[in-house]
Homo-oligomer: A and B are copies of this chain.
Amino acid sequence: MILFAGVDAGGTTTRAALHTADGTRLGYGTAGPGNPAAHGVAAAGAAIEQALRRALGGRDPSRVAASVAGVAGADDGFAAVLARVWAACGLASPPRLVSDVDVAYASGTPSPSGTLLLAGTGAAAARFSGRVVAGVADGLGWLLGDEGGGFWIGREGVRAAVRALDRGLPGGPLIELVSAHFGATGEPRRRADRIVRLAQADRMLVAAASPLVSEAAMAGDARAGGIVGQAARRLVATVDRLPGDGPTVLAGGVLTADGPVRAAVMRLLAGRDVVTARDGAAGASWLAALDRRGVLGAHPRFTAGR
């Protein structure tokens, strides 16, 4: 029995999966952040090794016929790090190194052509043709782009709250949720100053406000509802800059979690072939099987787990 291994190493979690050729999942493991650009090559390599060992469990690693690692923020040098990790784990050959975008797309569809719309903390779209990225839109970072992503939504929500506090405008769910998130109490200008100080000191606090915008929108907050609508329109505008055949795969926490942003994007994409990304490690494992066998068909089984 030959096996296939897939890894999806992201900025928050690293996931690894082990499958048989027919798509039966035999093992699964997770570990901490595996993005070498954000967390360093050594830490990323260690997280990937940990997830991979957990996925292998007690199975014979020499049975792994092919593997694919999708790593966010990897450069060419990281392939050598992965080769050492794979050898240390007893696998016969190193993985094919692809990006997190490749495995996210592969987790959603077996189609060689289509478009990925990814909105986690950041936001980007990628056009695939023959399973290779043929074009990218946005992904321009938290300061200047990533329009409609988690950081963008959080920043717009925090900004709206701070402006309302500074201007003495009426309160509401968004202002209350954002104030509580930053531990801001007292008179409005004092609350605004505290939020500004903490937000500037720790950008992740701003990204973490993204779910509060969704929560406030569901509670009927008009400002939050406006931000949700803007985010959805910007995300769809980004994917619309990469037209072509095949499905649109929605990936990333903002678009895969049930909530008002996903719902608004689904409404805007109504009538198109839209699928939701599944587990990235399963997508990577399926790509590994595809590399080795050159056939399709087992995709739904590979990605059925989790």
Contact = CB atoms under 8 A, between A and B. Distances in A.
Contacts of A162: 140, 144-145
A143 interface: yes
A200 B143 contact: yes
A58 to B, nearest CB: 43
A265 interface: no
Interface in A170-219: 189, 192, 195-197, 199-200, 203, 206
A196 B140 contact: yes
B196 A145 contact: yes
A221 interface: no
A166 interface: yes
A158 B136 contact: no
B145 A166 contact: yes
B163 A145 contact: yes
A195 B145 CA distance: 12
Interface residues of A, number: 26
Interface string A126-155: 000000000011101111110000000001
Determine how many copies of this chain the complex contains.
2
Nearest to A158: B144
A96 interface: no
A195 to B, nearest CB: 8
A138 B165 CA distance: 10
A159 interface: yes
A248 B118 CA distance: 48
B136 A144 contact: no
Among A136, A166, A167, A203, chain B packs the most CB atoms within 10 A around the CB of: A166
B144 A196 contact: yes
Contacts of A196: 140-141, 143-145
Contacts of A192: 140
Contacts of A189: 136
Nearest to A168: B241
Nearest to A167: B241
B199 A144 contact: yes
B241 A141 contact: no
A191 to B, nearest CB: 12
A242 to B, nearest CB: 11
A143 B206 contact: yes
Contact of A155 (B136, B138, B144): B144
Ranked 10 nearest A-B pairs via Cβ: A141-B196, A144-B159, A143-B200, A144-B162, A140-B196, A141-B200, A140-B162, A143-B199, A144-B196, A140-B166
9 contacts: A137-B166, A140-B162, A140-B192, A143-B196, A143-B203, A144-B155, A144-B196, A144-B200, A145-B162
Interface of A: 136-138, 140-145, 155, 158-159, 162-163, 166-167, 189, 192, 195-197, 199-200, 203, 206, 241
Given A140-B162, A140-B196, A145-B163, 4 more contacts: A140-B163, A141-B197, A143-B199, A143-B200
